Amino acid sequence: MFPCDFDQQIATLFKSAMMFIQLKSAADLRFLNYLEQNGAINTISEKIPMKVTVKISRKEYIKLLFTVAYRRPATIAATIFKFIILLYIIFVFPEYDHSSMVPSYFVFLAIGINVSTPLRFYFIGRKIYNASRILKETIAYDLSDEKLVAKGETFTGERSWGTPYTVVELADWFLIYDSKIVFNPIPKKDMSAEEQLELKGILKNLKTVKPSQFK
């Protein structure tokens, strides 16, 4: 019979092995990454890439374009300026014209100026989505610390992280920019809360990404 201390060591090792096998959640993976960085274990996270399958509808894509467009200072400034013109025509112009009513064509012109920008975004987004084969496909992403692999119904693409232009987290999306205007949209609706945290951990390690870009 083995000594009692040895029996306890065997039992402890067995429990540790079972716990290691059961590590499945994103929190566990982050813990493994921490142990790896500190030399405690040799398991590397890139061997277990994070998998996300996404499907973007036309309505979701157009809504995303509106969100992205109205985050830009130029779009916000233009919208405010057009609204001021509308208020001027309705309330200020009659005083200078010494009339009690504003000409109807001025009102329609002011309204047209204000709705032209959102209408333009809507039709541009609709045209892009309808013309793009890739946007309408179901895409499976494999994401790790080293690279991003995208597999659609008619294509497969792979890129190392390197230094992407930037990454932005919105309320419902992660946007991975390849340039100033081209981005890979990953909707949060297709991810669990743990997967979102795991993806944040991957993206925050990129050189061009600032912590302030995440919620």
- Domain positions in the chain are 47-55+138-213, 61-131
Q: What is the pLDDT of residue 178?
A: 81
Q: At what angle do helices 58-69 and 104-131 cross, to 10 degrees?
A: 120
Q: For residues 189 and 193, what is the distance between their CA atoms, to the nearest angstrom?
A: 10
Nearest to 27, CA basis, from 215, 210, 193:
193
Sign of the Cα pseudo-torsion (149, 193, 126, 71, in order): negative
CA distances (Å), 28 to each of 34, 145, 194, 197, in order? 10, 16, 10, 12
Look over the chain and give the mean of its residue pLDDT values, rounded to a whole number.
76
Model's pTM, two decimal places? 0.65
Which residue reads 């013109």 in tokens?
A: 85
Q: For residues 198 and 144, what is the distance between their CA atoms, to the nearest angstrom?
A: 10
Q: For residues 131 and 66, what is the distance between their CA atoms, to the nearest angstrom?
A: 18
Q: Kindly report, residue by residue over 131-175, the tens digit of the pLDDT.
A: 999 999 999 998 887 888 889 999 898 888 776 678 889 999 999
Q: How far is CA 72 from the centre of its chain?
A: 16
